[in-house]
Structure 1
């Protein structure tokens, strides 16, 4: 037998073993009595998550560490979503980051230089609504006496 034939037979055998392994565990998974119920629940959860916009959990405005973590998380999510082509959600996350940023003017300047003009315009348009949501969240958390954010800081 030649070397090529031996390698071919070994590769075919390995492929068949892998296919058998996949078939065995697929059959085991499908024969699980809870499989269909779990599958339905998973599909239902995925459908409700897609249909309902995710309510943003704003951090405690008095906790500086939580604010910083939220800021970094929102910037990262915004960049990832923009890179994936989801402009609306990316702008939403970036606007949250600008709203909680300690120096929003500097961040907006950086974003203006790095984002395409139409995406930056969407971001600027979204900032007032995010600022209002942040202020209402702060007021609710502090019982009506929360830190205020100047509209000039957001635009």
Structure 2
């Protein structure tokens, strides 16, 4: 049988859960009813679809550390897969993007230097500034 304090704790937990769900519903409704919300979603989708058609890299939200980490691992994986398939130019684009967002690019470059052939590594080093500039331009677009 439950005693009085555990009943009170269960009731308090139930009320807190209900309040949290209500809070989530309220702010989701408020966000979706914003007149600019649909326009911002359309603009983002249009920008992303244009970037995919051009074959450019879609940068993450640089304010979100988790999104940047996910982007880094995703770019490394895609780059490695493309290298194994022999698509050097596309692979270099993705690996350069991973290096550009990496917290310790020099260490990553040392690992890549040991794991990929020297001519490909040299092409990668040459490509990094252009990709970094492309990603920083995308970051500036997000700020505006």
TM-score > 0.5 by shorter chain: yes
Runs of 4+ in 1 over 2 A off after TM superposition: none
Measure, in 1, the Cα distance between the counterparts of 2:131 and 2:86.
22
Measure, in 1, the Cα distance between the counterparts of 2:104 and 2:143.
23
Classify the secondary structure of the residue corresponding to 2:54.
coil
Measure, in 1, the Cα distance between the counterparts of 2:66 and 2:116.
27
The equivalent residue for 1:102 is: 103
Measure, in 2, the Cα distance between the counterparts of 1:134 and 1:79.
20
Measure, in 1, the Cα distance between the counterparts of 2:138 and 2:122.
25
The equivalent residue for 2:27 is: none
Structure 2, unaligned runs of 5 or more: 1-52
The equivalent residue for 2:60 is: 59
The equivalent residue for 2:9 is: none
* Deviation for aligned residue 1:74: 0.4
Measure, in 2, the Cα distance between the counterparts of 1:130 and 1:112.
18
Measure, in 2, the Cα distance between the counterparts of 1:139 and 1:85.
33
* Deviation for aligned residue 1:140: 1.5
TM-score with structure 1 setting the length: 0.57
Classify the secondary structure of the residue corresponding to 2:60.
coil
Larger Rg: 1
Deviations 1:1-50 (A, max 9, x none): xxxxxxxxxxxxxxxxxxxxxxxxxxxxxxxxxxxxxxxxxxxxxxxxxx
Deviations 1:77-129 (A, max 9, x none): 00000001111111111001000111111101110111100110110010110
Structure 1, unaligned runs of 5 or more: 1-51, 144-155
* Structure with the largest fraction of helix: 2
**Count of residues in correspondence between the two structures:** 92
* Deviation for aligned residue 1:55: 2.6
